[in-house]
A and B are shown apart, each in its own frame.
Chain A
Amino acid sequence: MKAPRFAYARPATLEGALALLAAHGEEARVLAGGQSLVAMLNLRVAAPRVLVDINRVPGLGEVALGESCVRIGALARHAELERSELVARHLPLLARAVRHIAHPAIRNRGTFGGSCALADPAAELPACALALGAKLVLRGARGERRVAAGEFFRGLYETALEAGELLVAAEFPLPGPASASAFGELARRHGDYALVGLAAYAQRDGPALRDVRLAFFGVADRPVLAARAAAVLEGRRVDEATLARAVAALDLEPRGDLHASAATRRRLAGVLLERVVKELAQ
């Protein structure tokens, strides 16, 4: 199908974008990479009165190394994260995860901020933000605020963003030298949304893991930390017995749908936990 009618604006400054969002409130949608939004327009699932295209707002696409964090601009494209040496060195989890997002043509346009602001529960990057304890930077007419990933993702396509606010970046704390991350997802075809996925982070302490964070996606209405399973792993050496206990402690309640039943998803979550945590410990 074709998109419904809407008005389009392409502000050249961040202030201009915020003014448009403030003026149009709930009737406006932000257009970033458009790889989900334009599809939703074409399917007429979304019908905003105004599209605010932020693609020409300068500075929003930067990936930069700060003193204590890596800042990923909202307009950073998946393909740029895939190629970025800075991301590969400091946030290898992101570098791994972006390769699972759709296909090269989509990754050339799709953006980090778009993925987070849409908050699809099966998306990779929100889970990475959760696993790595990122903060999302939100700008509105009244100023800037930072929201931890755990509070930003509120539910199915629901975030802490308020009308008139724009997600401008995410700040990832710099992982220390002992930190490790691993990633896995199971999908029917390469590039499909995951049936179940896991973005994992931990500190290595000799043969044991500490500060374990297991962010599952595709199993709830938002990315979720499997806290009980992580507690089983905390401070212990990763062996078969510990892994089995961690799998048994998984307290996920995925829903069944067209693509997989709830039981299949629970089973796959355990399979992924074993695989990903083994890699985390290596």
Chain B
Amino acid sequence: MNDAQEALDIELEVNGEHVRRRVEARRSLADFLRQDLGLTGTHLGCEHGACGACTVRVDGAIARSCLMLAVQADGARIETIEGLSDAGAIAELQNAFVLANALQCGYCTPGMLIAAQALLEADPQPSRDRIREFLAGNYCRCTGYQSIVDAVASVAAHRAARGPR
């Protein structure tokens, strides 16, 4: 791929499924997921990396899908809220969000859940300050964050009480 092109063929894995598409170079990964694959659980808030609503996992690490081009995901393994929900990977967090009233309009929720999952993977017992710091990159305009921090802290506490599985 040594010549510059305005449209390219890409192959990647999205939520465990092999995907091949031709995409415009200017297409963001977020728009590719939403418009080309119909995976509209990835939300777009600001489109410049500030709000975190478009957070997905790229090769296991969280990233802003509005700040990645679809062509850059060629060969990558992408996980979106749809895949993580269907796999049950974030079921505990989803239940905790409901119980704690950690969402109202729900626009930030997919990104918030994916970020919270990444936090608990890196740090299974985060302090409230650590939860706040980690989630500072995900904006919520409804809840005032208290209930989101409560929900994440409650999952950590339940897991600690239950012990390692």
Contacts and interface: CB of A to CB of B under 8 A. Distances in A.
Partners in one complex: yes
Given A8-B5, A9-B1, A105 B115 contact: yes
B71 interface: yes
Contacts of A86: none
Interface residues of A, number: 40
Contacts of A109: 58, 63-64, 67-68
B62 A108 contact: yes
Nearest to B24: A5
A103 B25 contact: no
B124 to A, nearest CB: 16
Interface string A1-16: 1111111111110001
Interface stretch (B80-88, B132-140, B148-156): B132-140
Given A106-B49, A190-B133, A35 B67 contact: yes
B115 A104 contact: yes
A190 to B, nearest CB: 5
A189 B25 contact: no
Given A1-B47, A8-B4, A11-B1, A38 B66 contact: yes
Nearest to A10: B1
**Which of B26, B28, B118 is packed against the most chain A CB atoms within 10 Å?**
B26
Contacts of B133: 190
A51 B25 CA distance: 9
A5 B6 CA distance: 7
A98 to B, nearest CB: 14
A3 B64 contact: no
B-side interface mostly: mixed
A123 to B, nearest CB: 15
A102 B119 CA distance: 15
Contact of B6 (A7, A41, A43, A105): A7
Interface in A6-57: 6-12, 16, 19-20, 24, 31, 34-35, 38-39, 41-43, 50-53, 55
Interface residues of B, number: 37
A104 B2 contact: no
A190 B48 CA distance: 18
Nearest to A102: B137
A251 B61 CA distance: 43
Nearest to A77: B61
Question: Which of B49, B58, B63 has the largest count of A CB atoms less than 10 A from its CB?
Answer: B49
B118 A34 contact: no
Contacts of A191: 136-137
A106 B67 CA distance: 9
A143 B93 CA distance: 53
A79 interface: yes
A47 B45 CA distance: 22
Contacts of B6: 5-8
B69 A38 contact: yes
Given A8-B5, A10-B1, A105-B63, A42 B28 contact: yes
A9 B71 CA distance: 10
The winner among A20, A34, A38, A43 for most chain B CB atoms within 10 A is: A38
A42 B136 contact: no
A106 B6 CA distance: 26
B48 A2 contact: no
B37 interface: no
Interface in B82-107: none
Nearest to A79: B61
A151 to B, nearest CB: 30
Contacts of A190: 132-133, 136
Contacts of B31: 2
A6 B26 contact: yes
Contact of B2 (A2, A5, A16, A189): A16
Contacts of A41: 26
A236 B55 CA distance: 49
Nearest to A53: B72
Closest CB pairs A-B (n = 8): A103-B137, A7-B4, A8-B25, A39-B48, A9-B4, A108-B61, A3-B26, A105-B62
10 contacts: A5-B25, A5-B26, A20-B4, A31-B69, A34-B72, A41-B26, A42-B28, A42-B66, A105-B115, A105-B118
